[in-house]
Amino acid sequence: MIIGLTGGIGSGKSTVARAFETLGAAWVDADDVAREVVLPGEPALLAIKNRFGDQVIHEDGTLNRAALREIIFKNPEQRQWLESVTHPRIRERLLEHLEQLKAQGAPYVLLVSPLLFESGQSALVNRAVVVDVPQGLQLSRTQQRDGVSESQVHAILAAQLTREQRLAKADDVIDNSGDHASMMEQVAQLDKSYRQQLNY
């Protein structure tokens, strides 16, 4: 069974994924894979460089993500172009990782993705878990963690589904606005439920 794990920026998806991992689940993070497909030597990086020029490439040949983010969040057409180049490659690579993890014998595998629904990756999963926090908490956590401006956080939020839309698509919800113990308890309940469904 593949479980999609999603949530808005700053909701604590990685923390929740690690909590599932402590109970025996395996996971792959779409953000990590998104970074993989734009590494030096990858076709996607070459396409990005050809379109935007050296301004989006660091001196060491790696992608300047901050410079690219500036461009695509100001221009929806550029963002659509970027997604048309990266999303199919991310999907292909995710499938490879998921197959490898399944072969390792975990009871179920998590696909952690901030754009699970937006990117169509939800078609790859059997159930979708949404990690939910109020928007004010998303803002403060993201600014603290990433050192980005409030306007950049709002731009990122605008590119994602609204909290209401995401919750409407969820099979399961984890409220991550409380303390660590509360989150762990919710994860343990879901883990138990998934194992029962799998007779594991």
Whether residue 11 is annotated as binding a ligand: the answer is: yes
Each residue's pLDDT tens digit, 91-133: 999 999 999 998 998 899 999 998 899 888 999 999 999 999 9
What is the CATH T-level fold of the domain 2-195, as seen in this structure?
Rossmann fold (3.40.50)
Please tell me whether residue 33 adopts helix, strand or coil conformation: helix
Q: Decide: helix, strand or coil at residue 195.
A: helix
Q: Is 12 annotated as a binding residue?
A: yes
Q: How far is CA 176 from CA 2, 12, 54, 92, 135, in A?
A: 21, 7, 40, 30, 12
Annotated binding residue 4:
no
Q: What is the spatial distance between Cα 137 and Cα 73, in angstroms, rounded to a whole number?
A: 22
For residue range 61-91, list pLDDT tens digits in order.
Answer: 999 998 998 898 888 899 999 999 998 999 9
Residue 49 or residue 156, greater confidence: 49
Q: Is 151 annotated as a binding residue?
A: no
Distance CA 91, CA 103 (A): 18
| Residue-level pLDDT at 150 | 76
Q: Known binder of ligand: residue 13?
A: yes
| pTM over 0.75, yes/no | yes
Q: What helix, strand, coil percent values describe the chain, rounded to 5? A: 60, 10, 30
